Amino acid sequence: MVELWSFAFVFIAGLITALATGLGAVPFFFVAEMSDRWNVTLWGIASGIMLSASVFGLVLEALGTYIQVSLGGVSVSPIPRRQLLLLGVGLLSGVVLVYVAHDLIEAADVDPREYAEADFKKLVLILGVLTIHSFPEGVAVGVSFADLGLSGGTQIFGFVVPLLAIFMTIAISIHNVPEGVAISIPLRSMGVANWKLVWWSVFSSLPQPIGAVLAFYFVRVAREFLPAGFGFAAGAMIYLVLTEFIPEALAVGKGLPGDGRRELLGGVAAGVLAMIPLAFV
């Protein structure tokens, strides 16, 4: 039996990541637009954060009993086939979800100009598309809370919270900021009010707390499938970086010297370097 307070705690963590998306709209209260150089850099930082969170957070956690990474080096024990199989199935499932989601988003043809005047049917469509797109990030948060209230971790408001959960919540929150910028740019060009930019940015990530709670429940009642849950979240996020974040950054950086590759690589390096210390706390 999973305690009700656990669901509330995980939901709040997911909600924090969703609210962080609204921070991407804050710069537009002070400037008319974000420069392409900053946009490329932000996408790079988000990519670095997601890659480091996936590899050093989720994948290593899935194999944590068998792969120990420290400043002194890496030690690897024989990994059971079942463990590897679960992780592999999870990784593949995450990739498939994002691939299908991308096709659905392309086919949905949602026009941001219709947001403010959307009827109920349109809102259902928009929410459905956003759910598919941001769900994996919520899953990443949810599975990282698998050991909530159990031994290990650190005390927060009287609850024992896994260090991985803190790491993933911070990682997804930081990653959501450039997503908020990307959402705000086209809406700003259409004359949407600043406070509405914040609202629609947050709205785009509201499925994350729902995904977090569902994933948390799954890994708590079926802990033997925990490696698959970690793999699912990691596969989805890595695929998102490779097929959406990096191509988006390169498209924005077309007019920059070197097509923005320097800014992109710098951002990726900054994102990785910022998150690696958290992974080994």
State yes or no: pLDDT of 120 exceeds 90.
Answer: no
How many helices (H) and strands (E) the chain has is answered by 11, 4
Whole-number Å distance between alpha carbons of 158 and 35: 43
pLDDT for the residue 116 = 47
pLDDT for the residue 110 = 52
Give the CA-trace dihedral at 5, 135, 140, 183, to 10 degrees: -110
Tens digits of residue pLDDT in 30-87: 877 778 888 888 888 888 888 888 888 788 777 765 555 554 555 556 677 888 888 8
Helices (H), 109-154: 120-144
Tens digits of residue pLDDT in 54-65: 888 788 777 765
Please name the residues in contact with 247: beta carbons below 8 A apart, sequence gap of 6 or more. none
Determine the structural domain holding residue 263 and report its residue range: 4-279
For the chain, the domain total comes to: 1
Contact 181, 27 (CB under 8 A): yes
Tens digits of residue pLDDT in 190-249: 777 888 889 888 888 888 999 899 989 888 887 778 888 888 888 888 888 888 888 888
Whole-number Å distance between alpha carbons of 131 and 216: 17
Q: Strand locations in 77-230, DSSP E?
A: 154-156, 159-161
pLDDT for the residue 126 = 53
Number of other CB atoms surrounding residue 154 within 10 Å:
12
The pair phi, psi for residue 221, each rounded to 5°, is -90, -15
76's tokens: 């690897």
Q: What is the pTM (predicted TM-score) of this model?
A: 0.75
Coil, helix or strand for 264?
A: helix
**Closest Cα to residue 48, out of 265, 278, 279?**
265
Q: Is pLDDT larger for residue 109 or for residue 274?
A: 274
Tens digits of residue pLDDT in 13-23: 999 999 999 99
Residue range 170-186: mean pLDDT, rounded: 82
29's tokens: 């209260």
Task: Calculate the average pLDDT of the chain.
Answer: 79
Residue range 119-125: mean pLDDT, rounded: 51
pLDDT for the residue 18 = 92
